[in-house]
Amino acid sequence: MRTVLARAAVALLAALLVTWSGVLWRGDRIGSDASDRLIRNADLPEAAFAHEMQRLRDAELLDPSTRWPVARAGALYQRGRFEQSARVLQEVLDEEPDNLEAWLYMREVAEGRDPAREAEARAAIRRLNPTPQAD
């Protein structure tokens, strides 16, 4: 009886893992497709842009990484929505202060617009990605 219960538990766990992998794969596909469309089509009509941004948010639903918020910030930056981009990036950096990609985007967003934030981003980039010292 115990053997049957143990096998049933293992089978159930395996089914759950396969299902979860499928959910993560689907989220990745949604996010990747939306990100690609946003990057390759900077002149998307507003409705299409909003739709793709929602798809990026949908991809975030079950993915705890910061991949999709950073992609959203990049799309907002590309559209000239610098303040919105900075807000999304700040949310990412509040969760992950050592996120180099977010700091790189933040430097671009702040450049020429917010000198203090730009300096903060440059300092964080140097801290996270120091230049090798010559011997």
For residue 59, what is the domain's CATH number? 1.25.40.10
In a domain, 22, yes or no: no
Note the pLDDT tens digit of each residue in 38-90. Answer: 989 888 999 999 999 999 998 888 788 899 999 999 999 999 999 999 999 99
Asked if 89 and 109 touch (Cβ cutoff 8 Å), the reply is yes
Cα 88 to Cα 109: distance, rounded to the nearest angstrom: 11
What length is written for the chain?
A: 135
Number of domains within the chain: 1
Domain span holding position 65: 27-128
Question: What confidence score (pLDDT) does residue 81 get?
Answer: 95
d(CA 47, CA 34): 13
* Angstrom distance (rounded) from CA 37 to CA 41: 6
For the four alpha carbons of 127, 129, 133 and 134, in that order, the dihedral sign comes to negative
To which residue do tokens 């964080």 refer? 124
Asked if residue 96 is part of any domain, the answer here is: yes
Higher pLDDT, 79 or 22: 79
